[in-house]
Structure 1
Amino acid sequence: MKKVDAIEKKIYTLAELLKVVATWKNLNKTIAFTNGCFDILHEGHIFSLAQAAKEADYLIVGINSDNSIKKLKGANRPVNNEHSRSLLIANLVMVDAVIIFEEDTPQHLITSILPDVLVKGGDYTIEQIVGANEVIANGGRVVINAIVQGYSTTNTIEKIKNL
Structure 2
Amino acid sequence: MTESKILSREETKKQVEQWQSEGMKIVFTNGCFDIVHLGHIDYLEKAQALGDKLVLGLNTDASVQRLKGETRPVVNEYARARMMSAMSFIDAVTLFDEETPKELIETLCPNILVKGNDYSVENIVGADFVMAHGGEVKTISLVKGYSTSAIIEKIKKS
State the TM-score, normalized to the length of structure 1. 0.95
SS of equivalent residue, structure 2 residue 115: strand
Identity %: 46
Q: How far off is 1:125 after superposition?
A: 1.5
User: For the residues of structure 2 that align with 1:69 and 1:15, how far apart are their CA atoms?
Assistant: 22
Q: CA deviation at 1:114?
A: 0.8
TM norm structure 2: 0.98
Which deviations, in whole Å up to 9, do the C-alpha atoms of 1:61-105 show, x marking residues without a partner?
011110001110000000000001111111111000001100011
Q: Spell out, residue by residue over 1:15-36, the C-alpha distance to the aligned partner (whole angstroms, 9 max, x if none).
A: 1111111111111111000011
What residue is the counterpart of 1:129 in the other structure? Answer: 124
Does 1:81 find its partner at 2:81? Answer: no
* Offset of residue 162 of structure 1: 1.6
Q: State the Cα RMSD in Å.
A: 0.7
Instruction: Give the structure 2 partner of residue 146 of structure 1.
Output: 141
Q: Distance in 2 between matches of 1:155 and 1:34?
A: 22
| 2:32 is aligned with 1:37 | yes
The separation in 2 between residues aligned to 1:125 and 1:58, in whole angstroms, is 23
Q: How far apart, CA to CA, are the structure 2 residues paired with 1:132 and 1:10?
A: 25
* SS of residue in 2 equivalent to 1:100: strand
Other-structure match for 1:109 = 104
SS at match of 2:138: strand
| SS at 1:9 equivalent | helix
**Once the 2 structures are TM-superposed, how far is the Cα of residue 39 of structure 1 from its aligned partner?**
0.3
Q: Distance in 2 between matches of 1:160 and 1:84?
A: 20
Secondary structure of 1:61's counterpart equals strand
* Offset at residue 146 of structure 1 (A): 1.2
Counterpart residue type for residue 117 of structure 1: I
* Secondary structure of 1:105's aligned partner: coil
Give the aligned residue type for 2:146.
Y
Write the letter of the residue equivalent to 1:155: A
Gaps in structure 2 of 5+ consecutive residues:
none
| Structure 1 residue ranges without an equivalent (≥5) | 1-5
Q: May I ask how many residue pairs the two structures share in their alignment?
A: 158
Using the TM superposition, give the Cα deviation of residue 122 of structure 1 relative to its aligned residue in structure 2, in angstroms.
Answer: 2.8
Partners of 2:118 and 2:17 lie apart in 1 by 32
